Amino acid sequence: MNQHASINRAFRLIWNEARRAWIPAAETARARGKRSVRAAMRLAPLLAALGLAHPAYAVTPPAPDQLPTGGKVVAGAATLASGGNSGAAVLNVNQTTSRAVIDWNTFNVGSAAEVNFNQPNASSATLNRVLDSNPSQIFGKITAPGQVFLTNPNGVYFGRSASVDVGGLTATTSSISDADFMAGKIKL
């Protein structure tokens, strides 16, 4: 079997009405099929009366200038620097090794915020492990010349305003050990 730079090539994007966003799903996931607007309109008053009109995991976007918090480099070498031109919400992750692992308390990017992974080259990779009890919410911009891994056991949500310009992106609820990641063994 050929070794590829990305882990999962078997997925498709599906539109999630409740979240009003495209989300990745396994390519074997069943499609919902055509929906009946008439049936939905008849159910709306019933759902509202039962208090079920809003999904349990409705997304409240983070503040526009929200950036990831509590970053701690646990493997590899990188520095974290906040700030940008004219006080913009910018976080620069300046990585000096080809691989780095960072543990975060939260990893939310507001719509006016930006996270830049300044990696040595396009074959570099950064593992961002989120320790938050909530899903990560990406509404702003993430850039990197190489790969960015974002692991959060509670999920990762990309809003409409999200912009991800990276060499490769893996967003998962699975975990990976520091040793495996640093050795290039991507076993989620």
**Res 57: pLDDT:** 44
Write down the pTM of the prediction.
0.70
State the chain's mean pLDDT as an integer: 83
pLDDT confidence bin for 23, thresholds 50/70/90: confident
When mean pLDDT is compared across 57-61, 64-68, 97-101, the lowest value belongs to: 57-61
**Res 174: pLDDT:** 92
pLDDT confidence bin for 56, thresholds 50/70/90: very low
Strand-pairing partners, residue 115, are 91, 142
Look at 6 and 148; give whichever has higher pLDDT: 148
Q: Which amino acid appears at position 69 of this protein?
A: T
Q: What is the pLDDT of residues 116-150, one digit of tens each?
A: 999 999 999 999 999 999 999 999 999 999 999 99
pLDDT confidence bin for 76, thresholds 50/70/90: very high
Contacts 24+ apart (CB under 8 A), 175-183: 175/129, 175/151, 176/127, 176/149, 176/151, 178/74, 178/75, 178/101, 178/127, 181/75, 181/99, 181/101, 181/125, 181/127, 181/149, 182/75, 182/76, 182/99, 182/101
Collapsing DSSP to helix, strand or coil, 26 comes out as: strand
Answer yes or no: is pLDDT of 46 > 60. no
Q: Residue 108: name the closest of 165, 66, 150 by CA.
A: 66
Say what percent of the chain tops pLDDT 70. 71
Strand-pairing partners, residue 143, are 116, 165
Residue range 93-99: mean pLDDT, rounded = 97
Whether 100 and 75 have beta carbons less than 8 Å apart is answered as yes
Look at 41 and 156; give whichever has higher pLDDT: 156
DSSP state of 97: S
Residues 6+ apart with CB under 8 A from 63: 110
**Res 16: pLDDT:** 72
Q: Residue 107: name the closest of 80, 125, 83 by CA.
A: 80
Whether 113 and 124 have beta carbons less than 8 Å apart is answered as no
Collapsing DSSP to helix, strand or coil, 157 comes out as: strand
